[in-house]
Amino acid sequence: MLRYLRGGSSKAASGGGPDVEALLAELQKQVSEATVQAFAGSSELPNGGATERRALLLRYLRAEKLDVASAAQRLERQAAWRRGWGDVTEEDVAAEIATAKLKLQAPVVTAPSASAPDAAPGSASSASSSGGGGSASGGSDGLGGSRPVLIVKASRHRPGATPQLLNNFIYFGLETASHYSWCPANPDGKIVAIFDLAGLQVKNLDATGLRAAFHMLAEHFPERIATVWMLDAPAIFGGLWKVVSPFIDSNTRKKIRFVSGRAGQEALLEALGPEILPLEYGGRAAEIPIEMAVQQLPAWRQRQQAAQQGGAAAAGAAAAAATAEPKAAAEAGELAGQLHLHTASMRLSESSSNLLTVPV
């Protein structure tokens, strides 16, 4: 049995803009150690290291528009939410897994882009870069296959799951994807979602489920989504969308793109790249069921460790070259810093007292 996944504004002027470093320092003072420890082992703080703690605070600071007091309050609420959850196993969501409707494509393990040397997870520069995780084209920030991609096969969905099972499964998917977001080449730690709506029928329509998914994303995975792709939506989806879309967080709505046909597939390929997209979307990757993604996580982390070791080697080379060629040494040290790795065990937990039940 596999057990996974656990579940007033202050600004300081710096060049005319907010001093993110000062805001982070202030937020750290307001958040207790007990609050931070409530995130330990989750996708938000898998290892508990300084860089991860920084990324945690920065994510909530960004989510609350750099308002320190609001960010501190939200961290407290989220900490209480995580403390209240019990363990959830694969067996607990086996009925939903059996539908084969959820896939998770793991990020391609590569070094971070040299064009963004300071945008490590939790860095101040990552706070101000690509707030939505992409441009209007849906992913031209160059990160492409560096982000995990959740794929929902809507035609395989069957409404009727209990609120607890529904929310457990939504959490299972989002939390697994968020663990995969700790990729050296994914500086803002965001994920991508694709709702494959091809073949959708009336029997698959589920306003409650769709609202619950977007609610979970907005409330408990702040600053985590880069782009939500709605692919090949049939006419019958329009009515459902009119019911659900008003309840979706405004920031999330800005990241939703409807695409279809050959043009839609080309848009996905351009944004995400063929290395991570499955064959049916024009890519070269094998499709990975969510349960297989969970099982493959340790091996994926080992590849990340190899990337980290490569970074250490680069640091050694930088030190050796420092006296002879300062400029080359600085570049090598910079690369070593980019290849920082985050690995940790996962826990997934949830309690029925915190489930969303949406009347429709």
Q: pLDDT tens, 118-162?
A: 344 444 444 444 333 333 334 446 677 899 999 999 999 999 999
Q: Is it the case that residue 60 has pLDDT exceeding 60?
A: yes
Q: Is it the case that residue 117 has pLDDT exceeding 60?
A: no
Q: What's the token pair of residue 124? A: 């101040």
Question: What pLDDT is stored for residue 142 in this prediction?
Answer: 67
Question: What pLDDT is stored for residue 219 in this prediction?
Answer: 96
Mean pLDDT across the stretch 55-68?
Answer: 97
Q: Which CATH class is domain 94-292+347-354?
A: alpha beta
The span from the CA of 290 to the CA of 344, in Å, is 19
The span from the CA of 206 to the CA of 95, in Å, is 17
Question: What pLDDT is stored for residue 44 in this prediction?
Answer: 94
Mean pLDDT across the stretch 62-74?
Answer: 97
Question: What pLDDT is stored for residue 298 in this prediction?
Answer: 86
Mean pLDDT of the chain: 80
Q: Is it the case that residue 61 has pLDDT exceeding 90?
A: yes
**For 229-277, how does the pLDDT look when each residue is reduced to its tens digit (9 = 90+)?**
999 999 999 999 999 999 999 999 999 999 999 999 999 999 999 999 9
Q: Which residues pair with 231 in a beta bridge?
A: 196, 259
Q: What's the token pair of residue 302? A: 């080992």
Mean pLDDT across the stretch 306-312?
Answer: 70
Mean pLDDT across the stretch 44-73?
Answer: 95
Question: What pLDDT is stored for residue 314 in this prediction?
Answer: 57
Q: Which residue has the tokens 């309840």?
A: 247
Question: What pLDDT is stored for residue 84 in this prediction?
Answer: 84
Question: What pLDDT is stored for residue 133 in this prediction?
Answer: 37
Question: What pLDDT is stored for residue 153 in this prediction?
Answer: 99
**For 18-48, how does the pLDDT look when each residue is reduced to its tens digit (9 = 90+)?**
899 999 999 999 999 999 999 999 999 998 8
Question: What pLDDT is stored for residue 143 in this prediction?
Answer: 76
For residues 159 and 166, the answer to whether their CB atoms sit within 8 Å is no
Measured between alpha carbons, how far is residue 231 from residues 153, 273, 321 in Å?
10, 16, 50
| Residue 266 amino acid letter | E
Question: What pLDDT is stored for residue 141 in this prediction?
Answer: 61
Question: Is this prediction's pTM over 0.95?
Answer: no
Q: Is it the case that residue 90 has pLDDT exceeding 80?
A: yes
Q: What is the DSSP annotation of 157-195?
A: --S---HHHHHHHHHHHHHHHHHHT--TT-TT--EEEEE
Q: Is it the case that residue 308 has pLDDT exceeding 80?
A: no
Q: Is it the case that residue 288 has pLDDT exceeding 50?
A: yes
**For 98-108, how does the pLDDT look when each residue is reduced to its tens digit (9 = 90+)?**
999 999 999 98
Question: What pLDDT is stored for residue 309 in this prediction?
Answer: 73
Indicate the domain borders of the chain. 13-87, 94-292+347-354
| Residue 319 amino acid letter | A
